[in-house]
Amino acid sequence: MSEQTTLDKVPAPRPASGEKLLEVTGLQKYFPINGGFIFQRRVGDVRAVDGVDFHINAGESLGMVGESGCGKSTTGRLVTRLLEPTGGKVSYAGKDITHSSRKELAPIRSEIQMIFQDPYASLNPRQTVGSIIAGPMEINGINPTGGRERRVRELLEIVGLNPEHYNRFPHEFSGGQRQRIGVARALALDPKLIVADEPVSALDVSIQAQVVNLLQKVQQELGIAFLFIAHDLAIVRHFSQRIAVMYLGKIVEIGDRESIYGGPRHPYTHALLSSSPEADPDDDGRERIRLAGDVPSPINPPSGCRFRTRCWKAQDKCATEEPPLVRLGGNAEGHLTACHFPEEPTIEAREEDIVLDPALAAIEEAADETP
Amino acid sequence: MLRFLTRRVLGAIVILLAITAVTYFLFFVLPSDPARLACGKNCSNPDVVKAIHHRMGLDLPVYQQYWDYIRGIFVGRHMPDGQNCPAPCFGFSFVNDQPIWPTLTDRYPTTLSLAVGGSAAFLVIGVGLGMLSAWQQGKTFDRVASSISLVGNSVQIYFIGPLAIALFADNLGWLDHGHDPTWGSDPTGSFSGLVLPCLVMSVIFWSNYSRQTRSLMVEQLAEDHIRTARAKGMSSRYVFFRYALRGAAASIITIFGIDLGSVFGGAIITEATFGLHGLGTLAVNAVLGLDLPMEMAVMIFSASAIVIFNILVDTAYAIIDPRIRLS
Amino acid sequence: MTILTKPEAEPVPQGSEHFLSVRDLYVQFATEDGTVKAVDGLSFDLDRGKTLGIVGESGSGKSVTNMAILGLHNPRNTTIAGEIVLDGQELTGASPKTLEKLRGKKMSMVFQDSLTALSPYYTVGRQIAEPYMKHMGASKKEARDRAVEMLRRVGIPQPQTRVDDYPHQFSGGMRQRAMIAMALVCDPDLVIADEPTTALDVTVQAQILDLLKDLQQESGTSIILITHDLGVIAHTADDVVVMYAGRAVERGTVRDILKTPEHPYAWGLLGSIPRLSSSVDVPLAPIPGSPPSLLNPPPGCPFHTRCAFVDQVEGDRCRTERPVLPEGRGSACHLTADQKRDIFIEQIQPRLR
């Protein structure tokens, strides 16, 4: 696999970086839950995404982290308009695409591409790699100079696959190679924005790094903006200049890499960072926070601040008043936090660990009493 | 569980109403005029026809007729010609002018006994064979059983029926010739008269159920939770019967629920093969004699039977699988 | 694990002073395509009350090894050779009945996906109580009380009522706790946890890993923790075995493996994962290529097809001669000890910061 492939064959579309490519305001997606007897009616909603604001600048990578059910994947699908938002607004390059029809979306579809988690399920097993990658060009009627086949071979080379494997089928490739095919397909239309939904989490560790490096190369050398959705905090940090932390359908904290990882303010961000396993036996300098229980259901999310049911700083105010996503005093510009009682901006170990889990607390207390 | 059952029963009532409505209107739009069927040769006179129309209530609007019909089933009715028809009233036969319901009650025990007895036979034999095959997976028994079930899959009731009668009843004398049951007066005789028909009917289902059971069991035995049960030291036998069979049973019951229609079909063919007098022969004669009220009644009756059995199957499924019961 | 100061060229047969001792384990599956050498000559030891991390990617043989220890492989298509000695008792030749009595009582297992690993048809309480009734001869009532007690210990709220719930009524984290309760119900001496947190969210993963560790300190159980994630073992394991293509390629304390690894594959693994504190400007250093097929493993060192240092070994040894993993701390690699140290200090270590 050639990691050293150059990208000079690609005419790089470099939008002026810094300008807002994608802007999302108040984005909502409710999935109705139908029930009732004989005649189905709406008995409730899964509030997958419930009022999310963010933007992505051209050429920039925004990382999105959070645990299952936080709505990060749904957000990705709303942005690419694979799903229709329930509320809020999505605008791409200044154009409102929230409720655009298929026809209106057609020119934009080629500029926003998606990479999926499962490289096994997202490639048609009956198509050759060549036709998979050429598919988007055919659909959009794009005829690159030199023909589609030449372009496909170029793309295969860019993603580190042998261009001669043009006529092979997906099952002849390993998981990592299939994900490269997915990347090549996404690149086929010279996109300006790629939404990557857990692009490496189905892959083995040694293969993950290959794909992360490939995506990073694509991002930097082709100037493509990314919405990089993943649950692995270290990979998101490695890949993204800015990071949004989601919890139960809301962004609880967003900011540049250094602020989020070095000086987080939201208790949930602290808990996430503290839980992230590090391959280092000597990282005892990190704070230890162990939450209790799992994430609540997005069907009936807690009132006020959604994290309050698992938060050690929660007070009455948190139940009644939803904290706005704002810049707190002392935070860098663009570092926004939605919390009434924010934490200190440090991840250093505390005098006393925060252990909310009842089983852990009981055992550790007993151990402390009888050393 | 109570909620689950109420929902199912209410749902079943709606389905039955829909079935009756559809059948009723289907018969209504048929080109043949029931009045002409009923009056036979005297139909040359339009006044006679009109009179018959009035007598049968056919001059009323169709929804009124349907309503009278449904009401009649529950509370009985006075026919427009003054005849009294006690509940449950399905009207009078065009062929012999007798009320339908007594004929039905006379016939259904045979069909129902065949359906229930046949199902019991093929479930016990088919599922048992399938379990044995799964237990002996890959060994001689398994291979022999799967070859036999291939043969079993291709036989027909009207083919093996006469053969079985000739062998087991005429030559060996082990089993009774089939005859109609009279459960009230002679339960043992009724039973022995049904053994051969039920066994013959079950043969066409065996092979399917043994193969399905085998593959379901093999599939279940490969499940993660089977591995967990073994990892905590439960014996192979315990795991097989308590864990794998429980999972397979849920699917077998589903398949049985889907097969209910064919079970009744099989019962009707068996009746014909053994010369029994059940709903099947009744329905065939009604169709041949263009006896619309009888056809309607048999249709509604068998549909109700299938719907009721379906509720039983669903209930059994809910008992086996808590995910259905508790969500 | 004994740490020898001088690595020896040949494995020395050890006495059974270790609680669990696996020697030259071979596990092979007969498939339509040929024989899969899932485990190919593996040896390791585990002492009482200690945690051994087995690290490897999919197909490395780490899960197969542990199925073999419990005797859960399919005897129809699996051949096992070698020695597994648990507390003085030889397991590879033991009868199915003997193994059945040990499983759940002396050794138990925590599986990865708690939704499929628990039966949907029985209550959580019953599934926990079953082995307790079987192995301890407890009555239904006693076993149920024990199940409630175990659920309480693993942190299930309202254990008296939740004991009658079915697995689908539990959240993912709670199910994994229930699975741990089930594994510990008979106070086993050995718990094998196969990717116990892979299906869980990070905050829940941290809770579960700490719970396993805390419970171990309470009960003195030995744990084998199988994982693909080096981060998971950092604070839970005492010793680590790194597996590749059915073989152990490196072994040492967790500090040895994470701080001064010797095998090029271990270097590759560490170079593949970003850290929360590492520089973001340095690209990751992945291992090229993909793992070999176990139907036709490459001759010599199985890693030579992906190894960047093959040229530094004299002759063609990496391709022809299988490197031996010494007892104790060491790695199965033809590079000399000096080479390993130099390469690590000069090329690998700078990347890991």
C244-262 pLDDT, tens digit each = 999 999 999 999 999 999 9
Rounded to a whole number of angstroms, the distance from the CA of C77 to the nearest CA of chain B is: 11
| Rounded average pLDDT over C190-196 | 94
Indicate whether C275 and C238 sit together in one domain: no
A89 and A183 fall within a common domain: yes
pLDDT band at B241 (very low <50, low <70, confident <90, very high): very high
C-alpha to C-alpha distance for B29 and C66, rounded to whole angstroms: 71
| This model's pTM is above 0.80 | yes
C271 lies in the same domain as C173: no
My answer on whether B297 and B155 are in the same domain is: yes
Please report which confidence band the pLDDT of residue C3 belongs to, taking 50, 70 and 90 as the band edges.
very low
**Which one is predicted more confidently, A65 or C114?**
A65
Peptide bond into C350 cis (omega under 30): no
pLDDT of A39 above 70: no
Final residue of a structural domain among A188, A205, A240: A240
Q: Looking at the structure, do residues A31 and A79 belong to the same domain, yes or no?
A: yes
C41 and C156 inside one domain: yes
Contact of C28 with C78, CB cutoff 8 Å: yes
User: Domain check: are B147 and B262 in the same one?
Assistant: yes
Give the count of domains, chain B: 2
Instruction: Choose one of B69, B99, B129: the last residue of a domain.
Output: B99
Q: Is residue A160 part of a domain?
A: yes
CATH number for B224: 1.10.3720.10
- Is residue B83 domain-shared with residue B212, that is, in the same domain? no
- What percent of chain C clears pLDDT 90, i.e. is strictly above it? 66
Are C219 and C270 found together in one domain?
A: no
Is residue C230 less than 8 Å (CB to CB) from chain A? yes
Supply the pLDDT for residue C232: 92
Most confident of A15-29, B59-73, B221-235: B221-235
Q: How far apart are CA B265 and CA B305, in angstroms?
A: 13
Residue of B nearest to C109 (CA): B231
Residue C279 lies in a domain: yes
B47 and B138 inside one domain: no
- Residue C14 resides in a domain: no
The residue ranking higher by pLDDT, C352 or A59, is A59
Q: Verify whether the Cβ–Cβ distance C108 to B243 is below 8 Å.
A: no
**Which pLDDT value is given to residue B322?**
87
- Quickly list H helices, chain B: 2-29, 34-39, 46-56, 62-75, 100-122, 128-135, 140-152, 157-164, 187-221, 224-231, 236-238, 245-274, 279-288, 292-320, 322-325
Partners of residue A38 in chain B, C-beta under 8 Å: 10-11, 14
What are the structure tokens assigned to C208, written together?
């579960």
Region C314-341: mean pLDDT is: 91
Please check whether residues A136 and A222 belong to one and the same domain.
yes
Residue A281 sits in the same domain as residue A211: no
Residues of chain A positioned with their CB less than 8 A from the CB of C230: 205, 279
pLDDT in the model for residue C176: 92
Tokens 């692995």 sit on residue: A232
CB contacts under 8 A, C 233-262 vs A, are 233-235, 254-255, 258-259
**Which residues of C fall within a CB distance of 8 Å from A204?**
57-58, 228, 290-291
Residue C135, chain B, CB below 8 Å: the answer is yes
The closest alpha carbon to C272, from C262, C283, C261, belongs to C283
* Pairwise CB contact (< 8 Å): B234 & C113: no
Do the Cβ atoms of C231 and A364 come within 8 Å? no
**Chain A contact for C203, CB < 8 A?**
yes
Instruction: Tell me: do C269 and C123 sit in the same domain.
Output: no
Last residue of a domain, one of B99, B129, B144: B99
pLDDT 10s digits, B179-224? 787 777 878 878 888 888 888 888 888 888 998 999 999 999 999 9
Which of C148, C149, C197, C203 would you mutate first to test chain A, the one with the most A CBs within 10 A? C203
Mark whether C110 and C226 lie in a shared domain: yes
Contact yes or no for B36/A66 (Cβ under 8 A): no
Subunit contact B225:C119, Cβ cutoff 8 A: yes
Do residues C240 and C274 share a domain?
no
Residues A169 and A312 in one domain: no
CA closest to C276 among chain A residues: A234
Q: Is residue C249 part of a domain?
A: no
CB of A248 closer than 8 Å to CB of A39: no
Neighboring chain B residues of C103 at a CB cutoff of 8 Å: 230-233
| Domain contains C254 | no
| Cross-strand partners of A112 | A193
Q: How far is C109 from chain A (nearest CA, A)?
A: 20
Minimal Cβ distance to C70: which of B138, B231, B321: B231
Vertex A115 angle, CA A114 and A121, to 5°: 120
Say whether both A68 and A201 belong to one domain: yes
For residue B82, the enclosing domain spans 2-99
CB A182 within 8 A of CB A115: yes
Q: Please tell me if residue B321 touches chain C, with a CB cutoff of 8 Å.
A: yes
CATH code (residue A191): 3.40.50.300
Q: How far is C94 from chain B (nearest CA, A)?
A: 14
Whole-number pLDDT of residue C324? 92
Q: Would you place residue B37 in the very low, low, confident or very high pLDDT band (cuts 50, 70, 90)? A: low
Q: How far lies B223's CA from each of B220, B240, B253, C344, in Å? A: 5, 12, 19, 44
Contacts of A37 in chain B (CB under 8 A): 7, 10-11
Partner residue facing C258 (CB), from A3, A281, A294: A281
For range B79-106, the mean pLDDT: 80
* pLDDT exceeds 70 at position A138: yes
Neighbours of chain B (3+ CB pairs under 8 A): A, C
ipTM for this model: 0.87
CB of A260 closer than 8 Å to CB of A236: no
Decide if A290 and C210 are in contact by the 8 Å CB cutoff. Answer: yes
Distance from CA of A278 to the nearest CA of C (A): 4
**Per-residue confidence band for C4, with pLDDT thresholds at 50, 70 and 90:** very low
B228 near C CB under 8 A: yes
pLDDT of residue A13: 46
Residues A48 and A95 in one domain: yes
- Low-confidence winner among A7-11, B39-43, C141-145, C225-229 (lowest mean pLDDT): A7-11
B-C CB pairs within 8 A amount to 79
Q: What is the mean pLDDT of chain C?
A: 89
Whether residues A207 and A307 fall in one domain: no
Structural domain count of chain A: 2
pLDDT at B265 over 80: yes
Could C234 and A363 be called an inter-chain contact, meaning their C-beta atoms sit closer than 8 Å? no
User: Residues B108, B192: one domain?
Assistant: yes
Residues above pLDDT 90, as percent of chain A: 49
Least confident of A331-340, B82-91, B295-304, C217-226: B82-91
- Lowest-pLDDT choice from A26-30, A216-220, A269-273: A216-220
User: Does residue A8 form part of some domain?
Assistant: no
Residues C88 and C146 in one domain: yes
Which residue among C205, C232, C290 places its CB closest to the CB of A174?
C290
Q: CB of B13 within 8 Å of any CB in chain A?
A: no
A237: which chain C residues are within 8 Å (Cβ-Cβ)? Answer: 274, 276, 280
Dig out the tokens for B60 from the structure.
């009323």
Q: Which chain B residue has its CA at the smallest distance from A37's CA?
A: B7
* C170 lies in the same domain as C26: yes
Is pLDDT of B52 > 80?
no
Whether A249 is in a domain gets the answer no
Q: Which residues of A touch C284 (CB under 8 A)?
A: 209, 212-213, 238
> C271 and C223, same structural domain?
no
Domain count across chain C: 2
C265 shares its domain with C233: no
Nearest CB to C211: which of A1, A213, A359? A359
In a domain, A350, yes or no: yes
Point out the domain boundary residue: C216, C244, C272: C244
Domain range for C331 is 261-352
Q: Are residues B302 and B208 in the same domain?
A: yes
Q: Are residues B125 and B230 in the same domain?
A: yes
Boundary (domain end) residue, out of C190, C216, C244: C244
* pLDDT for C10: 43
Q: Is residue A4 part of a domain?
A: no
CA distance A56 to A32: 29
Per-residue confidence (pLDDT) for residue C245, from 0 to 100: 92
> Are A129 and A24 contained in the same domain?
yes
**Cβ contact C274–A237 (<8 Å):** yes
CA–CA gap between residue B179 and residue B193 (Å, rounded): 5
Classify residue A364 as exposed, middle or buried by CB count within 10 Å of its CB (0-12, 13-18, 19+): middle
Judged by DSSP in three states, A131 sits in helix
Answer yes or no: do C34 and C172 share one domain.
Answer: yes
* Selected residues 169-198 of chain C with any CB under 8 Å from a CB in chain A: 171-174, 177
Give yes or no: residues B74 and B127 share one domain: no
Has residue A198 got a pLDDT over 80?
Answer: yes
Question: Tens digits of per-residue pLDDT, C8-47?
Answer: 444 444 444 789 999 999 999 988 888 999 999 999 999 9
pLDDT value, residue B185 = 80
CA-angle at C195, arms to C58 and C108, nearest 5°: 120
pLDDT at C81 over 80: yes
Instruction: Write the pLDDT tens digit of every residue in C90-100.
Output: 998 889 999 99
Residues of B in contact with C183 (CB under 8 A): 232
Distance CA B158, CA B174 (A): 20
Question: Are B114 and B90 in a shared domain?
Answer: no
Query: Looking at the structure, do residues A202 and A340 belong to the same domain, yes or no?
Result: no
- Do the domain assignments include residue C15? no
Write out the residue range of the structural domain in which residue A193 sits: 20-35+43-240
State how far the alpha carbon of C260 is from the alpha carbons of B279, C9, C22, C255, C268, in Å: 84, 21, 25, 7, 13
Determine the pLDDT at residue A12: 42
Do B185 and B318 share a structural domain? yes
| Whether residues B85 and B112 fall in one domain | no
Closest CB to A358: pick one of C155, C201, C202.
C155
B14 chain-A contacts, CB cut-off 8 A: 38
Residue of B142, B228, B327 to mutate when probing chain C, most C C-beta within 10 A:
B228
Chain A residues inside the 8 Å CB shell of C255: 281
> CA-to-CA distance for A93 and A193, rounded, in angstroms?
11
Q: Kindly tell me if the per-residue pLDDT of C266 is higher than 60.
A: yes
Q: Does A52 reside within a domain?
A: yes
Report the range out of A153-157, A198-202, C102-106 with the highest average pLDDT: C102-106
- Rounded mean pLDDT, A61-65: 96
Question: Measured between CB atoms, which of C210, C255, C287 is closest to A281?
Answer: C255
- pLDDT for position A38: 59
Is 80 exceeded by the pLDDT of residue C306? yes
Average pLDDT of chain A is 88
Chains that touch A (3 or more CB pairs under 8 A): B, C
Structural tokens at position C176? 């994994």
C131 touches chain B (CB under 8 A): yes
Average pLDDT over residues C151-176: 92
On whether both B254 and B320 belong to a single domain, the answer is yes
Note whether A312 and A360 are same-domain residues.
yes
Given CB atoms, is B10 within the 8 Å cutoff of chain A?
A: yes
Q: In the predicted model, is pLDDT for residue A130 greater than 80?
A: yes
In the block, tokens 């009981």 appear at A362
Residue type, A292: A
Residue of A nearest to C238 (CA): A281
Predicted local confidence at residue B43, as pLDDT:
67
A274 and A230 together in one domain:
no
With respect to residue A270, please indicate whether it lies within any of the assigned structural domains.
Answer: yes
Task: Establish if C53 touches chain A: CB-CB under 8 angstroms.
Answer: no
